[in-house]
């Protein structure tokens, strides 16, 4: 038998299950995965003969097998971030919203505030329209000036009151009147349960035979730090639990077809 020396490379695909089923809802490419590995551990019950001399093992029965894995991707896509957060990703579509007041009570100068943030809208508003934007100190209806009394991040919806302003004073009430522009954005919502689905790994080895690993039932959980700030490329570490589905086996490894 010739040696199959292999240098591993390949692409990982994942599909969430359709609700209430073990049916994959279409695979998406995870993106670049610098690390991808599987670990299989087993536990056995051993039997020993004690009839004479030293005890000798004469049987061994497997009790359990545990299939896990780990994966790191540096593709910071919302779908991958959602896997790390036990969550989901979806686009958010914002229609045009006419100008309306938003009151910020008892401001602290030098502090920032998220426009539109309420208990029912914790993320607040995005895409503030600069046209018609007014910022007024409620007492005396004194208008605040951009860059002198406040600065604003229109896309992120964050307003900051400038220290040293003669109008934006400590504990003043401020009314910000603004409209929202039509826009779309991505959103990831965190959850509390592992993401379940199916996984496929298609190798593209520079050395060694190519194969396809199919894992019909996989649970994905976070595995370490997702560094939001630093001097290295961001990466998302994930743990895998490869389970046996109701029908079939846990792992399939298929070689490439040889044609007649």
What is the reported pLDDT for 140? 87
Confidence of residue 1 (pLDDT cuts 50, 70, 90): confident
CB-based burial, 127-151: b 16+ in 10 Å, e otherwise: bbbeeebebbbeeeebebeeeebbe
User: Which helix (H) or strand (E) is 82 found in, with range?
Assistant: helix 78-84
Give the mean model confidence (pLDDT) for residues 217-241: 96
Select from 80, 78, 82 the least CA-distant residue to 190.
Answer: 82
Percent of the chain with pLDDT over 90: 94
**Region of poorest pLDDT, from 24-28, 49-53, 215-219, 234-238:** 49-53
Residue 10: pLDDT over 90: yes
Select from 193, 197, 219 the least CA-distant residue to 21.
Answer: 197
Assign domain 10-49+57-89+189-255 one CATH number from 2.20.28, 3.30.60, 3.30.519, 2.30.110.
2.30.110
Cα–Cα distances (Å) from 199 to 4, 64, 84, 241, in that order, read: 25, 22, 16, 11
Report residue 130 as tokens: 């600069």
Give the mean model confidence (pLDDT) for residues 127-156: 96
Those residues whose C-beta lies under 8 Å from the C-beta of residue 75, and which sit 6 or more positions away, are 30, 31, 32, 33
Q: Return the domain boundaries, the chain.
A: 10-49+57-89+189-255, 96-181
Third-level CATH fold of 96-181: Immunoglobulin-like (2.60.40)
Confidence of residue 52 (pLDDT cuts 50, 70, 90): confident
Give the mean model confidence (pLDDT) for residues 166-182: 96
What is the reported pLDDT for 235? 97
What is the reported pLDDT for 206? 96
- Is 176 in contact with 134 (CB distance < 8 Å)? yes
Residue 242: pLDDT over 90: yes
Give the mean model confidence (pLDDT) for residues 210-238: 96
Residue 53: pLDDT over 90: no
């Amino acid at each position: 038998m010739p040696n199959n020396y292999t240098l591993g490379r390949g692409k990982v695909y994942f599909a969430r299950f359709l609700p209430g089923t073990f049916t994959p809802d279409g695979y998406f490419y995870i993106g670049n995965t610098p690390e991808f590995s599987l670990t299989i551990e087993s536990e056995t019950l051993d039997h020993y003969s004690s009839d004479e001399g030293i005890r000798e093992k004469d049987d061994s029965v497997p009790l359990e097998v545990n299939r896990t894995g780990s994966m790191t991707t540096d593709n910071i896509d919302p779908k991958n971030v959602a896997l790390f957060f036990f969550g989901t990703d979806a686009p958010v579509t914002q229609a045009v919203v006419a100008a309306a007041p938003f009151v910020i009570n008892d401001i602290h100068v030098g502090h920032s505030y998220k426009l539109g943030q309420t208990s029912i809208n914790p993320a607040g508003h995005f895409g503030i329209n600069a046209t018609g934007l007014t910022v007024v100190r409620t007492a005396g209806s004194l208008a605040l000036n951009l860059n002198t009394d406040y600065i604003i991040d229109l896309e992120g919806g964050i307003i900051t009151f400038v220290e040293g302003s003669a109008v934006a004073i400590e504990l003043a009430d401020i009314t910000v009147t603004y409209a929202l522009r039509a826009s779309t954005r991505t959103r990831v919502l965190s959850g509390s349960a592992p993401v379940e689905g199916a996984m496929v790994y298609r190798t593209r080895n520079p050395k060694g035979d190519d194969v396809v690993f199919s894992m019909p039932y996989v649970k994905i959980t976070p595995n370490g730090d997702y560094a939001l700030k630093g001097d290295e490329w961001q990466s998302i570490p994930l743990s895998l639990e490869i389970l046996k589905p109701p029908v079939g086996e846990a792992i399939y490894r298929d070689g490439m077809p040889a044609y007649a």
